[in-house]
Chain A
């Protein structure tokens, strides 16, 4: 049972470069989330999606874009990388109702230099 899979695990970008963080889940969850975690700062919600074709901004969406063309996939796009985007990124998924918890990927450690 794969759960939530994130790729890559590590990445170094130069300022101004772009990249896509991949996230896929095999639990048929409606909800998917992207968080960033900076040291000592907890989880900040970047974007979330309640189903295919529907996305919404979280607390810190600036500098990021997402799409949700399928239930399984929720990629996060950085168009013009900035040093402030150096962080650990987590993807998660959940299903509303029934008390089901959020399942997390292992994270992507991104450094922008």
Chain B
């Protein structure tokens, strides 16, 4: 069965600094990979997704993620963080035949 890990429970960055959130998955074939963001008191919103093609995918709000098959990773990046990016971030994996599995989440704090 597929699984997702997010090694960092909480990350704090300064506004304007770069950001990388880690995600590792376990699955025998090429999965469908997603990053979601949850702002305080809100539901989950899709940032970006990968299912084939270019391994570097662009998402909303200036985020991007890179699929690395050799490392079973799908890390989320942003070159310059804004205070409004403070939120909970969830990585998820899906397949063509099974349910979507979510990672435990990484909480991002942004220092002004």
Residue in A42, A98, A105 whose beta carbon sits within 8 Å of that of B102 in the complex: A42
Contact residues of A: prevailing secondary structure:
loop
Distance in Å: Cβ of A90 to nearest Cβ of chain B? 6
**CB-CB nearest in chain A for B104:** A42
CB–CB B94/A42 < 8 A: no
Chain B 70-112: CB-based contact to A (< 8 A → 1; otherwise 0) = 0000000000000000000010101111111011110100000
Q: Do the beta carbons of A50 and B99 come within 8 Å of each other?
A: yes
- B99 near A31 with CB under 8 A, answer yes
Contact status A106-B42, CB under 8 Å: yes
Given the complex, which residues of A lie within 8 Å of B51, measured CB to CB?
A: 98-99
A104-B43, A107-B43 known; A97+B96 contact, CB < 8 A:
yes
Task: Give B109 Cβ to nearest chain A Cβ, in Å.
Answer: 13
Q: How many residue pairs between the two chains, A and B, have CB atoms under 8 Å in the bound complex?
A: 63
Contact B96 A42 (CB under 8 A): no
Enumerate chain A residues within 8 angstroms of B103, measured Cβ to Cβ: 42
Decide if the interface of chain B is mainly helix, strand, loop or mixed: loop
Nearest CB of chain B from residue A61's CB, rounded to whole Å: 14
Smallest distance from the beta carbon of B101 to chain A beta carbons, Å?
8
What total of chain B residues lie within 8 Å of the partner, measured CB to CB?
27
Chain B residues within 8 Å of A31, by CB: 99-100
B3 adjacent to chain A (CB < 8 Å): no
Given A42-B104, A42-B105, A90-B44: A33 touches B99 (CB 8 Å cut-off)? yes
Which chain B residues in 8-47 approach chain A with CB under 8 Å? Answer: 9, 32, 34, 36, 42-46
- Contact for A94 among B36, B90, B94, CB less than 8 A: B94
Say if the beta carbon of B55 comes within 8 Å of chain A: no
Residues of B near A45 (CB, < 8 A) are 102
Q: How far is the CB of A110 from chain B (nearest CB, A)?
A: 15
Q: A96 vs B107: C-alpha distance in the bound complex, in angstroms? A: 28
Which 3 A-B residue pairs are closest in the complex by CB-CB distance? A99-B51, A42-B104, A42-B105
